[in-house]
Structure 1
Amino acid sequence: MTPPIVMPAKDNALDVHFKRKKPIIGVIHLRALPGAPRYEGESMAGIIAAALADARTLSQGGIDGIMVENAGDMPFSRPENIGYETVAALSAVCQEIRGAVDTPIGITCVANGAIPGLAVAKAVGARWVRVNQWVNAYVANEGFLNGPAALAMRYRAQIGAKDVSIFADVHVKFGAHAITADRSIAEQATDAEWFDADVLIATGTRTGSPTRPEEVAEVRAGTNLPVIVGSGLSPEQVPALMAAADGAIVGQWLKHDAKWWNPVDPHRVEQLMNAVEKERL
């Protein structure tokens, strides 16, 4: 039997970036940015004001981290087609958020914009980038996507951003996994660690869809890295998922009426964090 690949130990990125164990990261879904199909000329001041309101609500509600995502830019460009205007606008918003709250922030530049996300993170002092497909390949809504790890890690070194962590999805949502269907989720987790991810993410099938504890366990079986939940956490699911995972990213559930395009609801933030605190005891 072939022995398992053993990677050199590295610092736990969650311990580096967050003050609490099992951190909860809230998502700010930005309105459509300049250049996106659904952008209708709104001023950057308006886009920033909405994002700042969400950031303050999340921070005041005790969220441990904030992830900023250009979610309003649907349909999303392929990574190689993400424009300068997107990077500029995302940087402008994130810089304002960094000045408004003390909560650590990260970047998601969709679709799968690892290199643009790293550029934004370096410019604004963000702590991590989320990359939905880090290794291997799959068929996404945007078509066939290759994992960007090799190019992205070289770019990260080039711009001196080694302190920006990679939060990488395993068995990513919104995609077909036929290309890697002959390999277990644990093997795919090992691939992501081998290609220098820092935190692995287990998700459901779509935004807001529940992550199964079994999915978390399958990812964890292939890695020594921290594993967090990437979708579908609600107060009812906190006991099972927080027992299985090292933290979570929460977006849709925290919004008014649980719709991702709505503002963050402070009562929902309070409800979720109260449930989380019980599991931290």
Structure 2
Amino acid sequence: MKFLQLFGRLKSVIIGMVHVKALPGTPRSIVPLAQITEEACREAEIYRSAGIDGLIIENMHDRPYTVGVGAEITATMTVICAAVKQTCPLLPVGVQILCAANQEAVAVALASRLDFIRAEGFVFSHVADEGILNACAGNLLRFRKQIGAEHVQVFADIKKKHSAHALTADVGVAETAKAAEFFLADGVVLTGTATGLEADPKELEEVRHAVKIPVLVGSGVTLENVKDYLDANALIVGSYFKKAGYWANDLDPDRVKRFMDHAGKLRG
């Protein structure tokens, strides 16, 4: 499996979030690009020192998000991602560009030598807080093929957080996962309803038994509940690693180390 080749294990991979500061042109942008890049690399080094299994870089501070992004975001994310990958060349590194800028993320991954992206709106249209997101799998994977980036894995959110799924209320989370698998996602990401809120362990089991591709948990994992998610192929952890467990705060090296030590014991 490509997942195993990338991460070296099939279960309980821990992926740390690097939430870059607000990028140029966004409402809360106050930090120069050079400083944003330096801070992202510093966080990557903290994660690497704690024994993290992988990283994902995200423009979480670019609130409020737009559906799709401008060239300035794609360009700056390329600079940041390339620097982080150079800082941690042996770690698997991915990127997510909010909101649903999935083709841009693939382009950034290719240019920065990254390994995967996290994609929103892969299958089944839905209403997000940014607006209506239409399913993108067909166009995204054709774009990936056309630019020669087929080695960049696509991990697709299903029943995505911060969204209303009334349009697909008759389609369960397992069926959504099956659709993503049928549409050639490399893995699916299960979340809670919002950033920092935990995914339902019962839904994790349901999805795991429904598909043969990797299943990742994408929100709400903490030191206290990580034991409930060890059967997932990977856990994307962001909020818990920040000071006081709040996503917008700076990374807390002690929380990262405690979590990784605890996860290491659980994983044997």
Residue 106 of structure 1 aligns with an amino acid whose one-letter code is G
- Unaligned ranges ≥5, structure 1: 1-10
Tell whether 2:134 aligns with 1:152.
no
The 8 Å contact of residues 189 and 220 in structure 1, kept in 2 or not, is answered as no
**SS class of match (1:196):** coil
CA distance in 2 between partners of 1:108 and 1:167 (Å): 10
Residue 27 of structure 1 aligns with an amino acid whose one-letter code is M
Residue by residue over 1:202-238, the C-alpha shift from the partner in whole angstroms, topping out at 9 and shown as x without a partner, is: 1111111011211211222321111111111111111
The 8 Å contact of residues 167 and 197 in structure 1, kept in 2 or not, is answered as yes
**SS class of match (1:130):** strand
Query: Which residue matches 1:35?
Result: 25
CA distance in 2 between partners of 1:115 and 1:238 (Å): 32
TM, length-normalised to structure 2? 0.96
Query: Which residue matches 1:128?
Result: 116
Given the alignment, which residue of 195, 207, 221 partners 1:207? Answer: 195
Query: Which residue matches 2:49?
Result: 60
Given the alignment, which residue of 235, 244, 258 partners 1:248? Answer: 235
Shift of 1:70: 0.7
The 8 Å contact of residues 76 and 111 in structure 1, kept in 2 or not, is answered as yes
Shift of 1:39: 1.4
The 8 Å contact of residues 189 and 200 in structure 1, kept in 2 or not, is answered as yes
The 8 Å contact of residues 128 and 165 in structure 1, kept in 2 or not, is answered as yes
Residue by residue over 1:80-131, the C-alpha shift from the partner in whole angstroms, topping out at 9 and shown as x without a partner, is: xx10000000000011111111322100000011100001000001100001
CA distance in 1 between partners of 2:189 and 2:57 (Å): 16
Given the alignment, which residue of 39, 54, 58 partners 1:50? Answer: 39
CA distance in 2 between partners of 1:147 and 1:166 (Å): 14
Aligned residue pairs: how many? 266
CA distance in 1 between partners of 2:207 and 2:122 (Å): 14
Runs of 4+ in 1 over 3 A off after TM superposition: none
Query: Which residue matches 2:263?
Result: 276
Given the alignment, which residue of 72, 76, 87 partners 1:89? Answer: 76
Query: Which residue matches 2:63?
Result: 74
Tell whether 2:251 aligns with 1:264.
yes
Tell whether 2:4 aligns with 1:19.
no
Query: Which residue matches 1:7?
Result: none
TM, length-normalised to structure 1? 0.92
Residue 36 of structure 1 aligns with an amino acid whose one-letter code is T
Residue 184 of structure 1 aligns with an amino acid whose one-letter code is G
Shift of 1:49: 1.3
Shift of 1:279: 2.2
CA distance in 2 between partners of 1:105 and 1:262 (Å): 21
Instruction: Give the share of equivalent positions with the same residue, in percent.
Output: 38
Q: How is 1:223-234 mapped onto 2 (pairs within 5 angstroms)? A: 223-234=211-222
